[in-house]
Amino acid sequence: MRRGRADVLLVGACCVSLFVAGGRGQAPNEVRLARLDSSTRITVLALADSARRDHLPSEPLVDKALEGSQKGADGARIVTAVRGLYAELRTARTALGANASTDEINAGANALHAGLPMRNLAQLRAASQHAGRPRVTVPLTVVTDLVARGVPVAVASDVVLSLARAGLRDAAFTMFQRNVRLDIEHGADASTAAQTRARGAALRGTRAS
């Protein structure tokens, strides 16, 4: 009896070990996407793999799928959203150049999703490089935030491009973003606030350079 009980315990321990090892052997994205139905999960994983092969960030694709799941979206809507983001990431990398960082590509995809044309991303990159700015993550984040706060896409793009040409650095861009937000929260027209604050920020940037 003792031997039989020991054998049962040993088999049980082996099963536990195999279960743990199997869990550890799973790819992290497979574990994170376990809540999705099998068809949706397979498609999202395939898109994430394609992104990695294309040297694009894959994590935002997984995050997008999980966001859709949390909001109760069905598999078809989740796949459509992930495919859309994949296309935006690819377009952002094309506009920003092969040397664009992961953060820049993510910020560029967000800007495209907000409505900025691809050419605006390329213009912002060119203007920033001419002014000696190595990265455009912050300007892209700022322009996306402006659009989200009601500034028309054309206005938001123009003011951020003008600030990039004026040589503003990240801290000045962040201050500009904060000031526009406060103006809008206090009742100012979104376009007027962005344009007025941009003129002041550009003037300070020119004096500092």
pLDDT in tens, 61-88: 999 999 999 999 999 999 999 999 999 9
Domain boundaries, the chain: 20-96, 117-209
Residues 36, 72 contacting (CB under 8 angstroms):
no
139-162 average pLDDT score: 97
Q: What value does the mean pLDDT of the chain take? A: 87
Among positive and negative, which fits the CA dihedral 172, 175, 180, 181? positive
Given this model, what pLDDT does residue 27 score?
A: 65
For the stretch 24-58, pLDDT in tens is 444 677 788 988 999 999 999 999 999 999 999 99
Alpha-carbon dihedral sign for residues 29, 33, 34, 40: negative
